[in-house]
């Protein structure tokens, strides 16, 4: 077995193919602000005061993580915000924080340094922009926005922003993917031609993502339905839309933006992709025929990247048997494991691969909310690079949103790199 350092090797064709990357597209070429340029320089020993916007399932997961980080990382939550009174009261008690019903009151508070946005997707865009304008550092749950156009606006605004923006694809805090990229650049895999990855689950009842609906929630009494709808289409109150919003296109991209955004981001980071060339998606409601909502329980995407690589992403919510997560090259195959990854050379003729021919990498990071929050804190205090900044998040939004559009329109789509928009292939 070889050590994790692949040594000095030529870059060959793949390195040449990736020269059209983010610098050519004018995204990552933006020079990050130095620590000195921020509105408020937060030193290594200074406490970071946070506000939480959205106190549902993911918001509670983040709050639990922030409580664990607490004194050790000198971070605390002083204010929490939600449109549902019951959730708001519970979060205020959990965090010993002040409850706020209008998120803009948190942004107006000069004592708050950073905000967590853990709302449904359709609110991400506006809240991120408002956070930037208020000069708050922002951690926003994935995906960065609900649409490609919204992401373009965030990327443009970040060119002059004075604060940091971390997107909650926490798997990017796993160093397996940046390390895989090093091996690929060193030509260990040779000419990369395909990658495939899945994200499947098995819900045993009559429906999937069947989150508990609290019928005690009443609009105008203990829930602000109009505030929750925000920029989405105006509708009469529907408790299923509120408590199971991931199943409705108005607020979510379903499997693509809730699950695939994690998997596609891993491949983007590993291979060094930016935007896709063409995308097609398929699937349907194959098992949960009486499911509430609008999204399918089975969803698959094929993404062709301009570097000459096809990425296959598959999901079933009725069967959780995983497929191998791997990147295929003409010289070797890289397979991701729970421990990191293994690179296996392609066999020559009838020769078998020997143990000493394998390259094994044991990861030092993980898909972990705590690590992802700590990365943002380090970025705020020491100006270290973010694990999932707005550019990285934009690439993922484009791929996933194209998949959703392809599925809904039953069409084959192409990315127009010059105009930064989706067109029919």
Spell out the CATH class of 176-208+250-363+395-424: alpha beta
Asked whether the predicted pLDDT for residue 50 surpasses 60, the reply is yes
pLDDT score of 44: 60
Taking residues 193-198, what's their average pLDDT? 97
pLDDT score of 11: 36
Taking residues 256-266, what's their average pLDDT? 97
Cα angle for residues 322, 324, 327 (degrees, 5° grid): 145
Burial class (CB in 10 A: 0-12, 13-18, 19+), 184: buried
- SS3 label, residue 138: strand
Burial 127-152 (b: 16+ CB within 10 A, else e): bbbbbbebebbbbbbbbbbbbbebbb
DSSP assigned state of 35: G
Burial class (CB in 10 A: 0-12, 13-18, 19+), 97: buried
pLDDT score of 17: 45
Which regions of the chain carry the CATH code 3.40.50.720?
A: 27-173+373-389
Asked whether the predicted pLDDT for residue 175 surpasses 70, the reply is yes
List Cβ neighbours of 232 (8 Å cut-off, separation of 6 or more): 122, 250, 251
List Cβ neighbours of 325 (8 Å cut-off, separation of 6 or more): 196, 197, 198, 263, 266, 335, 336
Calpha distance 126→395 (Å, rounded): 19
Which regions of the chain carry the CATH code 3.30.360.10?
A: 176-208+250-363+395-424
Burial class (CB in 10 A: 0-12, 13-18, 19+), 62: buried
Burial class (CB in 10 A: 0-12, 13-18, 19+), 366: middle
In this structure, are residues 66 and 50 in contact, taking their beta carbons and an 8 Å threshold?
A: yes
DSSP assigned state of 4: S
In this structure, are residues 159 and 132 in contact, taking their beta carbons and an 8 Å threshold?
A: no
| Cis amide leading into 143 (omega within 30) | yes
**Longest C-alpha distance within the chain, in Å?**
73
In this structure, are residues 164 and 376 in contact, taking their beta carbons and an 8 Å threshold?
A: yes
pLDDT score of 78: 98
Supply the pTM of this predicted model. Answer: 0.89
How many residues does this entry show for the chain? 425
Burial class (CB in 10 A: 0-12, 13-18, 19+), 7: exposed
Closest to 375 (Cα-Cα) out of 367, 362, 364, 384: 384
**pLDDT above 70 as % of the chain:** 88
Q: In the numeric block, which tokens belong to residue 120?
A: 């449904």
Closest to 390 (Cα-Cα) out of 168, 167, 142, 169: 167
Average pLDDT, rounded, for the chain: 91
How confident is residue 129, by pLDDT bands cut at 50, 70 and 90?
A: very high
Asked whether the predicted pLDDT for residue 232 surpasses 80, the reply is yes
Distance of CA 260 to the CA centre of its chain: 9
Handedness of CA 287, 404, 248, 154 (dihedral sign): positive
Q: In the numeric block, which tokens belong to residue 281?
A: 């998606």
- SS3 label, residue 16: helix
Name the least confident of 37-51, 322-336, 377-391: 37-51
Strand order of the sheet with strand 340-345?
Answer: 359-362, 340-345, 332-336, 326-329, 192-198, 309-316, 298-305, 278-284, 413-416, 421-424
User: What architecture is the 27-173+373-389 domain classified under in CATH?
Assistant: 3-Layer(aba) Sandwich (3.40)
In this structure, are residues 140 and 165 in contact, taking their beta carbons and an 8 Å threshold?
A: yes
Asked whether the predicted pLDDT for residue 38 surpasses 60, the reply is no
DSSP assigned state of 258: I
Calpha distance 423→406 (Å, rounded): 11
Calpha distance 7→23 (Å, rounded): 26
Taking residues 352-375, what's their average pLDDT? 91
């Amino acid at each position: 077995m070889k050590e994790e350092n692949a040594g000095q090797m030529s870059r060959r064709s793949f390195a040449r193919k990736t020269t059209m990357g983010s610098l050519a597209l004018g995204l990552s070429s933006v020079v990050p602000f130095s620590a000195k340029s921020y509105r408020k320089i937060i030193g290594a020993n200074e406490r970071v005061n946070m506000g939480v916007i959205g106190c549902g399932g993911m918001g509670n997961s983040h709050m639990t993580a922030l409580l664990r980080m607490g004194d050790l990382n000198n971070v605390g939550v002083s204010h929490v915000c939600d449109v549902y009174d019951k959730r708001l009261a519970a979060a205020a008690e959990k965090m010993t924080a002040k409850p706020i019903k209008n998120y803009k009151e948190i942004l107006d508070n000069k004592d708050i340094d950073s905000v967590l946005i853990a709302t449904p997707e359709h609110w991400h865009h506006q809240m991120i922009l408002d956070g930037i304008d208020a000069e708050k550092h922002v951690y926003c749950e994935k995906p960065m926005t609900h649409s490609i156009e919204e992401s373009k606006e965030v990327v443009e605004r970040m060119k002059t922003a004075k604060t940091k923006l971390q997107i909650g694809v926490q798997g990017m805090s796993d160093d397996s993917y940046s390390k895989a990229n090093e091996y690929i650049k060193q030509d260990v895999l040779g000419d990369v031609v395909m990658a495939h990855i899945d994200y499947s689950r098995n819900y045993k009842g009559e429906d999937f993502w069947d989150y508990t609906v609290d019928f005690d929630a009443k609009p105008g009494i203990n829930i602000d339905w109009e505030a929750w709808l925000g920029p989405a289409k105006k509708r009469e109150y529907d408790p299923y839309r509120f408590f199971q919003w991931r199943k409705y296109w108005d607020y979510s991209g379903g499997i693509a933006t809730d699950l695939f955004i994690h998997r596609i981001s891993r491949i983007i980071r590993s291979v060094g992709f930016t935007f896709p060339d063409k995308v097609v998606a398929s699937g349907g409601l194959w098992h949960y025929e009486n499911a509430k909502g609008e999204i399918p329980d089975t969803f698959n995407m094929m993404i062709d990247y301009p570097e000459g690589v096809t990425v296959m992403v598959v999901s079933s919510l009725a069967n959780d048997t995983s497929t191998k997560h791997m990147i295929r090259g003409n010289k070797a195959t890289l397979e991701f494991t729970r421990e990191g990854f293994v690179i296996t050379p392609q066999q020559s003729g009838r020769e078998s691969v020997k143990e000493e021919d394998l390259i094994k990498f044991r990861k030092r990071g993980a898909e972990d909310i705590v690590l992802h929050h700590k990365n943002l804190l380090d970025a705020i205090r020491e100006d270290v690079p973010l694990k999932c900044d707005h550019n990285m998040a934009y690439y993922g939004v484009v791929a996933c949103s194209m998949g959703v559009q392809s599925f809904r329109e039953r069409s084959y789509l192409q990315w127009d790199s010059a105009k930064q928009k989706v067109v029919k292939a």
